[in-house]
């Protein structure tokens, strides 16, 4: 059903389930997708480290899945999460989107 790209990945937009703030954009492969469904916590594929990544393993800032959607083309996911610790970005910010252009 889901359409993973030629590298076996699908982008995931991650949003706070309470206030809809976009927290981050990450990627999943089929294994991380299945682990997310199984554990109800977000798992990703780290493109830089080339390994599975359980969000919050080192920081403690896990993401508990509240809702998971796919788009009309089935090639992008939207995860609505409870962000434990209110920090999603590796910089310590709540969201990865803090660099304002306009």
Q: Tell whether 19 is in a known binding site.
A: no
User: Exposed, middle or buried by CB within 10 Å (0-12, 13-18, 19+), for 69?
Assistant: exposed
Share of the chain above pLDDT 90, in %: 98
Q: Tell whether 75 is in a known binding site.
A: yes
d(CA 3, CA 14): 18
- Dihedral sign, CA of 43, 46, 50, 54? negative
Segment 11-66, tens digit of pLDDT: 999 999 999 999 999 999 999 999 999 999 999 999 999 999 999 999 999 999 99
With respect to residue 2, please indicate whether it lies within any of the assigned structural domains: no
d(CA 69, CA 45): 18
With respect to residue 28, please indicate whether it lies within any of the assigned structural domains: yes
Q: Tell whether 89 is in a known binding site.
A: yes
pLDDT of res. 82 = 98
Mean pLDDT value across the chain: 97
Q: Structural domain of residue 66, as residue ranges?
A: 9-83
Segment 57-98, tens digit of pLDDT: 999 999 999 999 999 999 999 999 999 999 999 999 999 999
With respect to residue 30, please indicate whether it lies within any of the assigned structural domains: yes
CATH code of residue 64: 3.10.20.810
Model confidence, pTM: 0.94
Structure tokens at 14: 């991650």
Q: Tell whether 96 is in a known binding site.
A: yes
- Domain count for the chain: 1
With respect to residue 91, please indicate whether it lies within any of the assigned structural domains: no
Q: Tell whether 57 is in a known binding site.
A: no
Across-strand partners of 44? 53
């Amino acid at each position: 059903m889901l359409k993973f790209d030629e590298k076996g990945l699908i982008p995931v937009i991650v949003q706070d389930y309470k206030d809809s703030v976009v927290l981050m954009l990450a990627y999943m492969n089929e294994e991380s997708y299945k682990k997310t469904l199984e554990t109800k916590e977000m798992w990703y594929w780290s493109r830089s480290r080339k390994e599975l990544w359980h969000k919050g393993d080192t920081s403690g800032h896990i993401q508990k899945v509240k809702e998971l959607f796919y788009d009309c083309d089935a090639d992008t996911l939207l995860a609505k999460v409870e962000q434990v610790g209110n920090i999603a970005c590796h910089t310590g910010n709540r969201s990865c989107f803090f660099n304002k252009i306009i």
